[in-house]
Structure 1
């Protein structure tokens, strides 16, 4: 049980890092702040289920 929780926390951290990178890259590309926030939110919303699906397929979660 603790192992699964740890992997879910790791997946969430990976998604947060992806969201931060997406926001920073879009801001560096000249996007306005609301657009950069939307890009970060979209990256988080896509990355978290993807990472959890991959972990589930491998058998970690």
Structure 2
């Protein structure tokens, strides 16, 4: 049960991070606001960028 709650919390953090990125906040600012490491925000951004590129290639 704890693992599921953690997954939900992480999903929510990723959603908030996407919104903050669209507002122009930096990785360090987002990391501080969400209580995660900067490298975590960097990985999320990289993953989202790769997904966007893949979506463009298939469109």
TM-score of the pair, normalised by structure 2: 0.50
Higher relative contact order at CA 8 Å, sep ≥6: structure 1 or structure 2? 1
Q: Which ranges in structure 2 are unaligned for 5 or more consecutive residues?
A: 37-59
What's the TM-score, normalizing by structure 1? Answer: 0.49
The answer to whether residue 8 in structure 2 is matched with residue 14 in structure 1 is yes
Q: In 2, are the aligned partners of 1:19 and 1:39 still within 8 Å (CA)? A: no
| Contiguous gaps of at least 5 residues in structure 1 | 1-6, 43-61
2:32 is equivalent to residue 38 of structure 1: yes
Matched length: 36
- 1:19–1:40 Cα contact (<8 Å) kept: yes
